[in-house]
Chain A
Amino acid sequence: MAAVAIRQIRKSYGTTPVIHGVSVSIEDGEFVTLVGPSGCGKSTLLRMIAGLEDVTGGEIRIGGRIVNTVPPKDRDIAMVFQNYALYPHMSVAENMGFSLKLNGIPKSEIAVRVERAAGILGLSPLLGRLPRQLSGGQRQRVAMGRAIVRDPQVFLFDEPLSNLDAKLRVQMRTEIRQLHQRLGTTTVYVTHDQIEAMTMADRIVVLHDGKVEQVGAPLELYDRPANLFVAGFIGSPAMNFLKGWITVDGGAFFVTESGATLPLHSAPAGSDGRPAVYGIRPEHLSIGDAGGIAAEVSVVEPTGSETQVFAHVGGQEVVAVSRERVGVVPGQSIHLVPDPGAVHLFDAETGGRVN
């Protein structure tokens, strides 16, 4: 196990920069997810840690050692690929034992370690099979088995669940988390799925356009997003945003462009009249008959455990989530009442958090 320190890492393809000076410190034994939309540079960053991409500038340390020019085989890392990358001409046991064989470990010990890893992952009956004879979930497990059998310093996961169906994804999510709790190996996990990031990570690094937007614990990011991007990216359904300005007049208020006046707990000093974006998560909007924001219901989506109500507010769509069974129908006029304590305010120009 080892800590991973990334300092001012830059990456360019020709003259096109894709990662602009990213710095992240990953503690020994920590589970960190790199999350962001497609093209944000998260996989490139992971591949740089693995040594599969050259580093244009900056420094990567694994266990205190600078590894910028160290080939992948000498970094003592294990990686699980999005497409599993199992060797098609080798059996499950050979796939899992390949790295041990390369390191000159005796056959008897390889067999013991492969058997142990297979036991952890429930792969024991499949050891003689070829990858093409396995289902998607089994292949995924073999890919993980190949990683854990080595007992490396760092695990790298590159969107390992994106090829699985929804049910299996949830199951594997839990299994990976349990595996980390059991082994305690430093893990860097790349995903574009913010639910995966939220449920699995000790800390999340949100990347956007090759820059770090925010680093923090899952609930920290959820409760206090640093900017509009993080606020919109973390959380499903996404946070509602309403444009307007802050007014301080016998109390703090936010006036929306559609004219609704919404109470605030407090307003930042000197923010009277300041253009801002009002952010409120769907579960912090309750449906009422008066007050709040007047809206017209467009779609009602009951999921059983909760109900999502989509409504139009001055030409903009807003979503509210209720744990109760809500008796509203499309076309109905309602009032969405925000919880003033759960309001997020962002600067209209920079997108940075102001409250």
Chain B
Amino acid sequence: MTDITDIIRFRSGNAPLALRWPTQRFLVRVGLHVLVAVLALMVLLPFLWLVQMSLRPEDEIFSDAVLFTPTLENYRALWQGNFAGSFLNSLAVSSLSTGLSLLLGVPAAYVLTRWRFKGRARVALWILTTRMAPPIAFTIPFFLAYRVLGLQDTVWGLALIYMTFNLSIVIWFMQTFFAAIPESLEEAAWIDGCGVWRAFWLVTLPLAAPGLAATAVFCFIFSWSDFFYALILTRTNAMTAPVAIVNFLQYEGWEWGKIAASGTLVMLPVLIFTLLVRKYFVHGLTAGGLKE
């Protein structure tokens, strides 16, 4: 009679299973854990180094000593300077551009996905081409136009620029997510008493929420991390956090403590935002590609 040990022996190639299999599995598991730990450390090292640096006193900033007395002095110095204003500018610019991009891009993506009209594919392609040129190509036109329009060094001006870049991301991402939602759900809503946009609002959009979250994170991170346009188009009023950090590199010396503290603070909102929508984010990235 065949018992379970025979089956296991057969599956493991007639090896004496009791000795070989658990040891091998254990070693493989330990190896994988070590590999993951090493990779995680490699990825996190700059971040951890930055965080610990931000907590060191100014005179110990480059010290090799692993143990030190943490201090919030660098953060206090930031709060007393102009950094808080720049941080708020960054928040305002990123939130505004993300909000505007979603407000315009989501309905546009829906129309491009669902409505059949002449030149639809061409319109979608032209929207994508706005992302094909490097951002530097638009610097001079934006700079000149903003001088005339009085948008230089304003939060709105910067938000509008980021919106133009984010819009194509929103439209292309959301098209994939909308395409994954069966049209019959909207048709059912129409028959149940919805108009086209009410069905979109009550049925399609809630179902596209994971995609919406993923797209919002992308937009926010893009706007939040931009340094180039913020440097060219802002001076004092609308200066964002990344530009403010660079201002700690001065002729008189580089303020490493403040650089580390501000760098840590700049990472925080993205980290919090991503953690909050992590579940949706992962689901959103895969939702369009797989049929459920």
Contact = CB atoms under 8 A, between A and B. Distances in A.
Contacts of B192: 73, 98-99, 102, 146, 150
Contacts of A82: 184
B14 to A, nearest CB: 43
A345 interface: no
Interface string B251-270: 00000000000000000000
Contacts of B188: 79, 81, 85-87, 146
Interface of B: 182, 184-185, 187-195, 198, 203, 206-207
Given A50-B187, A89-B206, 19 more contacts: A52-B187, A52-B191, A72-B187, A73-B193, A73-B194, A75-B191, A79-B191, A81-B184, A81-B187, A85-B182, A87-B203, A88-B185, A98-B189, A99-B191, A99-B192, A102-B192, A146-B188, A146-B192, A150-B192
A160 to B, nearest CB: 12
A150 B192 CA distance: 9
Interface string A72-110: 110101110111011111000000001100110000000
Interface of A: 50-52, 71-73, 75, 77-79, 81-83, 85-89, 98-99, 102-103, 146, 150
Contacts of B190: 51-52, 71-73
Contacts of A86: 188
Contacts of A98: 189, 192
Contacts of B187: 50, 52, 72, 79, 81, 85
Contacts of B184: 81-83, 85
Contacts of A78: 191
Contacts of B191: 50-52, 72-73, 75, 77-79, 99
A150 B206 CA distance: 24
Chain A CB within 10 A, most for which of B184, B191, B203: B191
Contacts of B189: 87, 98
Nearest to B188: A85
27 contacts: A50-B187, A50-B191, A51-B190, A71-B190, A72-B190, A72-B191, A73-B191, A73-B192, A73-B195, A75-B191, A77-B191, A79-B191, A81-B187, A81-B188, A82-B184, A85-B182, A85-B187, A86-B188, A87-B185, A87-B189, A88-B207, A89-B207, A99-B191, A99-B192, A99-B193, A102-B193, A150-B192
Contacts of A73: 190-195
A85 B207 CA distance: 13
A82 B183 CA distance: 12
A234 B234 CA distance: 77
A87 B190 CA distance: 12
Q: Identify which of B182, B188, B198, B207 gathers the most chain A CB atoms within 10 Å of its CB.
A: B188
Select the residue from B189, B192, B198 with max chain A CB neighbours within 10 A. Answer: B192
A103 B193 contact: yes
B185 to A, nearest CB: 5
Contacts of A77: 191
A72 B204 CA distance: 17
A71 B194 CA distance: 10
Most B-side CB within 10 Å, residue of A73, A77, A83? A73
Nearest to B206: A89
Contacts of A88: 185, 207
B195 A71 contact: yes
